[in-house]
Amino acid sequence: MAFPLHRPRRLRSTGEMRSLVRETRLAPSQLVYPMFVCPGEGVRREISSMPGNYQLSVDQFVGDCEKLAGLGLGGIIVFGLPETKDEQASGAYADDGIVQRAVRAVKRALPKLLVITDVCNCEYTSHGHCGLVVGDDVDNDETLKWLSATAVSHARAGADIVAPSDMMDGRVAAIRAALDAADLTRIPILSYAAKFASVFYGPFREAAESTPQFGDRRGYQMDPPNAREAMREIELDLAEGADMIMIKPAMPYLDLIRQARDRFDVPLAAYQVSGEFAMIVAAARNGWLDQERAMLESLISIRRAGADFILTYFAPAAAKLL
């Protein structure tokens, strides 16, 4: 007995009507902007596969953050390109490392800007893997020491949240213990809990100069077909003390965002990664898609799937429209 009694189109008749009954909303405060900091001064190098995104020296980075500050973004997440790379990823946990310097500078200029740091080694190792390479494998437990040292040094520099993205086993527990031992009990951990070995990180690796020089990351990042294992990874990270969890990438994994939302009562992030951004921008540049609408529809789909906030290269552009 549906029609003609029920006519769902009644609630779609005008923009005002649609706005009244809209189920999912997107606000600037739900967007986090990833930024890349590099050595030097006055450096502003556009990343060719990510138009509108730059490798920025610390001065330029702070200047851009000052411009972003009025947009009401949730925050930024900082990635670093060190001066030199080595087998031990020493640039990752050096007190005067690139991320540490950038965070100190931006917190001095903008104490209220929420700063997340990515805790990983792949940008800092000469071989581009996320930890200590022994033979043809990454040594899990040794790598935990680097990650812990990195997280502590980021927090000491002023990071508000640390976000480990390496996918080593036990890293959340190791980082929590290290932060607590350093009197940094107040610093939350946003864990890249379910991070897949994805082809969609391609443009990022150009941006962060972190392509593995041999092999790939499938020995530590997750296998894309696995959903149950993603829930298990999240459970383990929460048991180890993660305060928030992340699914990455976002759009190819919307089902897992939904499953995680239904199962875990903690803040849930999703990372719309570089390849997701690049696909939309490339199609738009070919005249095949409307960039603004594709951007907003993709972001709302990630929110509808259940993400509380989204790490996205569209953050400034989307915030300007919202």
Q: Least distance from C-beta 53 to ligand PBG, angstroms?
A: 10
118 counts as binding ligand PBG under rule CB under 6 A: yes
122 counts as binding ligand PBG under rule CB under 6 A: yes
Token pair, residue 320, equals: 């300007």
Q: Least distance from C-beta 288 to ligand PBG, angstroms?
A: 22
Peptide bond into 212 cis (omega under 30): no
Report the residue from 120, 173, 247, 319 that binds ligand PBG according to the rule CB under 6 A.
120
165 counts as binding ligand PBG under rule CB under 6 A: yes
Q: Least distance from C-beta 120 to ligand PBG, angstroms?
A: 4
Q: Which residue has the tokens 């199962």?
A: 263
Specify the stretch interacting with ligand PBG by CB under 6 A; choose among 101-109, 115-123, 229-237, 281-289. 115-123
Residue 182 or residue 212: which is nearer to ligand PBG going by CB?
Answer: 212
Residue 137 or residue 183: which is nearer to ligand PBG going by CB?
Answer: 137
Residue 118 or residue 237: which is nearer to ligand PBG going by CB?
Answer: 118
201 counts as binding ligand PBG under rule CB under 6 A: yes
143 counts as binding ligand PBG under rule CB under 6 A: no
Q: If binding means CB under 6 A, how many residues of this protein chain bind ligand PBG?
A: 10
Query: Per this entry, what is the length of the chain?
Result: 322
Q: Is 107 a catalytic residue?
A: no
- Convert 16-52 to b/e letters by CB count within 10 Å (16 or more is b): eeeeeeeeeebebebbbbbbbbbbeeebeeebebbee
77 counts as binding ligand PBG under rule CB under 6 A: no
Residue 130 or residue 310: which is nearer to ligand PBG going by CB?
Answer: 130
Of all residues in this chain, which one has the CB nearest to ligand PBG in the complex?
Answer: 204
204 counts as binding ligand PBG under rule CB under 6 A: yes
Cβ burial of 219 (10 Å; 0-12, 13-18, 19+) is middle
Q: Least distance from C-beta 130 to ligand PBG, angstroms?
A: 6
List 67, 112, 195, 320, catalytic entry: 195
47 counts as binding ligand PBG under rule CB under 6 A: no
280 counts as binding ligand PBG under rule CB under 6 A: no
Q: Least distance from C-beta 276 to ligand PBG, angstroms?
A: 8
Q: Least distance from C-beta 210 to ligand PBG, angstroms?
A: 6
Report the residue from 147, 155, 273, 299 that binds ligand PBG according to the rule CB under 6 A.
273
Q: Are 264 and 217 in contact (CB under 8 A)?
A: no
State how far the Cα of 209 lies from the Cα of 190, in Å rounded to an integer. Answer: 23
Q: Is 248 a catalytic residue?
A: yes
Which active-site residues does the annotation give? 195, 248
Q: Which residues bind ligand PBG (CB under 6 A)?
A: 118, 120, 122, 130, 165, 201, 204-205, 273-274
